[in-house]
Amino acid sequence: MAELKKMKQIPEEERPYEKCVRLGAEALTDAELLAVLLRTGTKGSPSVHMAEEVLNLSREKEGLLGLHSLSLTQLKSVKGIGKVKAVQIKCIGELSKRIAQTTARKGLQFTKPWSIADYYMERLRHKEQEELICMMLDTKNHLLGEEMIFKGTVNASLVSPREVFLAAMSYHAVGILLVHNHPSGDPAPSQADLDFTQRILEAGELLGISLLDHIIIGDCRYLSFRQQGIF
């Protein structure tokens, strides 16, 4: 195997930092972008090579998507990645999710399932466990707040309607929207999802709190119960 090139041996115009200055960040590969943020490598492991190792570390997802699932311990297993660099990488992943969510919030419309799916996609599609979020709305469909009602292991049964409506009543909501993720990436509803949603509908009718939609987030895909005519 050929000896890895040290950064000093790479022509200056091809080094990630200089390349970014000359051509713009969009000209950099994923590994080069990460290398710029890592800044320095170690003896025998230049920053670009270190970045490539990080991007190949996840067994579940390739490249940048894998950063979301890596633990600090996994990151520190790469030569040259200590606690500081590992924390930096975790923060990069979280920052990317928040940028995506902030951008999506501008287009958030509670009558448009795609806008709700966009808003939650980056936050939920990387999760390894199911999370159920309840959005509480007033009479004019303004968001009063949101609460995570449930977080459990993969394939776990969802929470009881009681917890959903206790949260809704604490906000004096007249309508709710449910959003939860499928870690498998497939947003098709399970029988448990269908049964749970029916129970929420029936309980909401008794309490005067309408279920406006239930949206399941998959991997870059979503399903809206209302859109599909499930209720």
Beta bridge partners, 67, equal: none
pLDDT value at position 98?
Answer: 81
Whether 29 contacts 19, CB under 8 Å: no
pLDDT of residue 214: 97
State the Cα–Cα distance between residues 126 and 223, nearest whole angstrom.
17
Parallel, antiparallel, or unpaired: how do β-strands 210-217 and 222-224 relate? antiparallel
Q: What is the pLDDT of residue 100?
A: 74
38 CB-contact burial (10 Å; exposed 0-12 / middle 13-18 / buried 19+): buried
Per-position DSSP letters for 164-220, written without gaps between them: HHHHHHHTT-SEEEEEEE-TTS--PPPHHHHHHHHHHHHHHHHHT-EEEEEEEE-SS
User: What pLDDT, on the 0 to 100 scale, is given for residue 154?
Assistant: 46
Q: What is the pTM of this model?
A: 0.67
d(CA 29, CA 144): 41
Give the pLDDT means over successive 10-residue stretches in the chain (231 positions).
Answer: 49 72 88 83 68 83 77 89 89 81 70 91 89 93 90 63 94 96 94 92 96 96 95 85
**What pLDDT is attached to residue 42?**
55
Please give the distance of CA 44 from its chain centroid, rounded to a whole number.
34
Q: Report angle CA 198, 202, 207 to the nearest 5 degrees.
A: 140
